């Protein structure tokens, strides 16, 4: 049994943002008939590129992954926040396309996977030659041509780090770029990094929308218009069309950007965009999440202009991504329950589970001890670009409890337990080793012990009770009373703000086993239960 993003209806006339809570950055969306499909960046995690489905834009169900076989993607030694960046999902003539960048040893590789059914299976990748830069996107024009857009660093930048959006035709027979490259736009704001382009066609015009300003406080979305896909593109004088850069650092939602547009069957428009919900104006432990906002189209009112253009206006009532909005479909209430329970009785792992990186051999089993998840205590252990026995689910709430029961015959250097992980440099672990339960913190290469206790017997229950940036860690013998190992543990070490390097992901709650450098035994886990504990998700900011 496992959970997904559903539960009891919220308010009858409104929905809560984010519509996909927890680590869900760089959203891209497409509509096919009355069905919407959405995907996000997943960086070093596998399976990669979740495919979510919705019929109403606010209730989303995970139905699969576009990258679900190790043969599709090279993540073996991906850096933390390397790997799979900024996908775009589109549909054309009976086929779904997901195009994405994979950062391999600091070099971008752009690729496409396709499927007839978004639930899969998805194809082996088509690797694009001579496709520099990141953040690719596709437009299928009504004349049958397909256009690729991406970004690159031009040889004549006007400032350090400047990027430019370029376009080239994609041959759908060879799945390779063809013809000339066209260099379209460097954005509207000097000093901003142009990325995340999407090209749309509406009422005979082409619209080039992009993200600018990085993914922090200055993030923004801008748009330009042209009569031809190859340009020239004219800047919307009201750019940026979405940003929170003008708001204070303690605004509930910040860093909004990297948007994608979608229309509804009845002709309305919406945008999905990423954003941060920061604790204490600084700590985005959940990572960037997926938010939804209404969109209208307005025509310029300058009577003196010979041609007045029409541009999208995101969140027209306030100009901001709001914590609550009117429901797109008033007769379909939003469901908000993020409870996840997996008792490992199924034949396959629930789709919510991810591992870090791809592996050359299976390190887990649901068959060796039916009703349990068995993790091999292999030689790999937590460290930069390492592969190790870890399976986790996204933390989707600021207040929650997570609990597991572990059966473990610890021998030698074998270690296993419950782990909170931001990346290879940021971990809080509750693990058993050599008869001792230890609470450890990893931050930027340094491990420190926060508490320990002797445990006896093969089975132990482990629990974390988290409250924003503090947590209590507990343990017990099955059927016994819970004991606190450590209380009021500071979790700011899981915040991207205090971790070295790039940090594009969010916290995972996971199960871990290692032989700490040598082949070891195994640990069996009976279940994982994750439950939000806040009375309402809507008032998280007013703690």
CB 418 within 8 A of CB 462: yes
Is 538 one of the annotated active-site residues of the chain?
no
Q: Which residues pair with residue 271 across a beta bridge?
A: 261, 293
Q: What CA–CA distance (Å, rounded) separates 311 from 224?
A: 8
Is 195 one of the annotated active-site residues of the chain?
yes
Peptide bond into 121 cis (omega under 30): yes
| Cβ burial 483-515 (10 Å sphere, 16+ → b, else e) | eebbeebebbbbbbeebeeebbbbbbbbbbbbb
CB 56 within 8 A of CB 15: no
CB 87 within 8 A of CB 66: yes
The number of CA neighbours under 13 Å toward the Cβ of 135 is 26
Tokens at 160, concatenated: 């350090």
Q: How far is CA 118 from CA 19, 63, 65, 271, in A?
A: 20, 8, 8, 21
Tell me if residue 131 falls in helix, strand or coil: coil
Q: Which residues contact 98 (CB under 8 A, 6 or more apart)?
A: 39, 49, 66, 87, 88, 89, 112, 113, 114, 122
Q: Nearest 5 degrees, angle CA 417-CA 418-CA 423? A: 115
Helix (H) or strand (E) holding 416: strand 415-423
Q: Which residue has the tokens 């230890």?
A: 438
Catalytic residue among 56, 135, 169, 195, which? 195
Catalytic residues: 26, 195
């Amino acid at each position: 049994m496992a959970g997904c993003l559903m539960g009891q209806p919220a308010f009858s006339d409104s929905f809560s943002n984010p519509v996909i809570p927890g680590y869900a950055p760089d959203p891209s969306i497409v509509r096919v008939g009355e069905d919407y499909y959405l995907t996000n960046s997943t960086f070093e995690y596998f399976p990669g590129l979740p495919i979510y489905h919705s019929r109403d834009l606010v209730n989303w169900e995970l139905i699969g992954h576009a990258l679900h076989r190790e043969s599709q993607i090279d993540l073996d030694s991906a850096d933390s926040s390397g790997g799979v960046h900024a996908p775009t999902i589109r549909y054309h003539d009976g086929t779904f396309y997901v195009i994405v960048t994979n950062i391999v040893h600091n070099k971008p590789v752009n690729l496409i996977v396709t499927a007839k059914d978004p639930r899969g299976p998805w194809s082996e990748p088509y690797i694009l030659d001579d496709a520099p830069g990141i953040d690719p996107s596709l437009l299928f024009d009504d004349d049958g041509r397909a256009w690729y857009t991406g970004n690159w660093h031009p040889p004549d930048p006007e400032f350090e780090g400047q990027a430019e959006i370029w376009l080239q035709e994609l041959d759908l027979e060879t799945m390779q770029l063809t013809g000339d490259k066209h260099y379209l736009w460097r954005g509207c704001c000097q000093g901003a990094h142009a990325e995340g382009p999407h090209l749309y066609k509406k009422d005979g015009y082409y619209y080039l929308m992009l993200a600018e300003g990085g993914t922090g406080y200055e993030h923004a979305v801008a748009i330009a218009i042209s009569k031809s896909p190859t340009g020239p593109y004219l800047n919307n004088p009201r750019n940026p069309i979405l940003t929170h850069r003008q708001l204070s650092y303690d605004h509930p939602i910040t860093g909004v950007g990297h948007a994608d547009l979608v229309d509804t069957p009845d002709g309305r428009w919406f945008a999905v965009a990423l954003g941060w919900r920061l604790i204490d104006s600084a700590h985005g432990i959940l990572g960037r999440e997926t938010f939804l906002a209404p969109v209208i189209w307005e025509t310029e009112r300058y009577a003196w202009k010979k041609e007045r253009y029409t541009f999208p206006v995101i969140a027209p009532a306030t100009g901001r991504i709001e914590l609550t909005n009117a429901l797109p479909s008033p007769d379909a209430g939003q469901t908000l329950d993020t409870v996840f329970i997996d008792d490992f009785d199924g034949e396959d792992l629930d789709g919510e589970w991810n591992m870090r990186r791809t592996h050359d051999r299976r390190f887990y089993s649901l068959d060796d001890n039916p009703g349990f998840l068995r993790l091999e205590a292999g030689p790999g252990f937590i460290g930069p670009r390492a592969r190790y026995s870890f399976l986790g689910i996204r933390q989707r709430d600021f207040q929650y409890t997570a609990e597991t029961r572990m059966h473990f015959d610890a021998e030698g250097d074998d270690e296993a337990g419950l782990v909170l992980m931001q990346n290879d440099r940021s971990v809080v672990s509750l693990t058993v080793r050599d008869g001792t339960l230890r609470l450890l913190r990893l931050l930027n290469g340094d491990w420190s012990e926060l508490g320990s206790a002797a445990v006896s017997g093969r089975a132990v229950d482990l629990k974390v009770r988290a409250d924003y940036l503090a947590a209590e860690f507990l343990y017990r013998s099955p059927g016994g009373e819970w004991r606190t190992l450590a209380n009021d543990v500071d979790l700011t070490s899981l915040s991207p703000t205090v971790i070295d390097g790039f940090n594009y992901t969010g916290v995972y709650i996971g199960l871990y086993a290692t032989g700490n450098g040598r082949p070891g035994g195994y640990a069996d886990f009976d279940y994982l239960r994750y439950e939000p504990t806040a009375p309402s998700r809507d008032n998280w900011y007013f703690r």
